[in-house]
Amino acid sequence: MSTLYSSFNAGISGLNANATRLSAISDNIANTGTIGYKRVVASFQSMVMSGSHYGPYIAGGVRSSTIRLVDERGALTASSNATDLAVSGRGFLPVTSSAAIGAGEANLPLMLTTTGSFRPDSEGMLRNPAGLILLGWPANPDGTIGTFARDTVGGLEPIRINSNQFASDPTTRISVRANLPATSTRADSEGTPHDIAMEYYSPLGTTETLNLRFTPTVPATGASNEWVATVTDPATGDVLGEYRVTFDDTPPNGGRILSVTQDPGAPGGAYDPATGEFTVSINGQDIALDIGAPGAEDGITQMAEDFIPRSIDRNGSPVQSLVGVQVDPNGYVKAYYDSGLIRTIAQIPLVDVPNANGLTALDNQTYRTSPDSGAMFLWNAGDGPTGEIIGFAREESSTDVAAELTNMIQTQRAYSSNAKVIQTVDEMLQETTNIKR
């Protein structure tokens, strides 16, 4: 009778195992349209209860288990939102819950996801519809990313957009081109100086002015071919830099810069003949002035009888407004401003674990590290084993509806067969009961 009852128990375990498989199939089909969903598969393992080849066989039945195939990726589809993000390849986006941020938790819980439709919320944080906040490393004011530990989330912060609504792009370089009259450095010259006003942008986005004055050195006889270039702050009259510019008067470089020197103790940074620049500092702002390298055709010249300012070019821009944000394949979050300035405001790392299928699944297509997944490591997107971050894209569900429907038919047949086993065992037990009659 124990053999007969074991058949009954085996049939019951078969019903339970196929019910588990049907639950997994149902979940997969229900989430066909869920972005970033990873399908679940059920697997069966036989249980052997009989220990002897000669005794009665005891049916052990079947045991079921499920696993979520996190390492399987769905197809990427394009979207119109720049901060719809998906990972092309291995790796996960770091996110945290808005509830933890609202509670002011010092150690934010880390969750992982492979895709998300993120948009700025009322506080400027990139949030998806499920309330998950995108994390990243904040950039320094100059757009560089600092050094952060790669095995901890301590350096990760919510990515905020509103703090970068306005930005200034201070001037760091001014290029000056002009022609100085060669006759002004002769012995019979009146020594008239020539001024060039140079506008620049301060760190506060205001427009300020520097004055560059060229004063000829008038010799007792002949021609000196020398000018004293003095950079001053018109607002205070302070001298920021003073240089002696000597011009060549022989072929083939006649009229071009021969040398630039400074008197001992003269203000201003040293002239670099390789770049044709020297640096002056005003209110803590360093500005490189480019007057041309010695012998260069495009530098300041000394020719003929007229002073002719040819061009003044500067970089930088006044205060500008944010017009958009995009994420490049390496995870750098770049802010675009109406003046054309592009500034890096954060970097999104990709989280990798040795066994992605060992992650603990949470709601909203997120995951958490576990002993089965192994320890996490933060990579720059595109480095090491990780893939790239794709903007304007979302990852579809990895479910194949046709395959799931086929599995459903198989599961239904298997369930019916196990039910038939139970029915058969019941009839056999009834026959056993009828022996007494």
User: Which tens digits make up the pLDDT trace of 211-223?
Assistant: 999 999 999 999 9
Asked if the model's pLDDT at residue 270 lies above 80, the reply is: yes
Asked if the model's pLDDT at residue 106 lies above 60, the reply is: yes
Asked if the model's pLDDT at residue 164 lies above 80, the reply is: no
Among 59, 64, 66, 65, which residue's Cα sits nearest to residue 11?
59
User: Which tens digits make up the pLDDT trace of 51-89?
Assistant: 556 667 777 788 899 999 999 999 999 999 999 999 999
Query: Given this model, what pLDDT does residue 217 score?
Result: 97
Averaged pLDDT for residues 238-249: 97
Query: Given this model, what pLDDT does residue 41 score?
Result: 95
Among 143, 209, 156, 219, which residue's Cα sits nearest to residue 185?
219
Residues 222 and 248 sit within 8 Å (Cβ to Cβ): no
Q: Which two tokens stand for residue 240?
A: 């920021």
Q: Which two tokens stand for residue 78?
A: 């394009």
Confidence of residue 91 (pLDDT cuts 50, 70, 90): very high
Integer-rounded Cα Rg, in Å, for the chain is: 38
Q: Report DSSP letters for 362-399, one per residue.
A: ETTTEEE--TTT---EEE-TTSTT--EEESSEEEPP--
Averaged pLDDT for residues 243-253: 95
Beta-bridged to residue 177, according to DSSP, are 311
Can you tell me the distance from the alpha carbon of 188 to that of 397, in angstroms, rounded to the nearest whole number?
Answer: 86
Q: Which two tokens stand for residue 16?
A: 């339970």
User: Which tens digits make up the pLDDT trace of 272-314?
Assistant: 999 999 999 999 999 999 999 999 999 999 999 999 999 999 9
Asked if the model's pLDDT at residue 1 lies above 60, the reply is: no
Class of domain 171-315: mainly beta
- Over pLDDT 90: what percentage of the chain? 76
Query: Given this model, what pLDDT does residue 2 score?
Result: 62
Domain residue ranges in the chain: 2-69+398-434, 79-160+349-387, 171-315
Q: Which two tokens stand for residue 434?
A: 């009828």
Among 85, 103, 93, which residue's Cα sits nearest to residue 35?
85
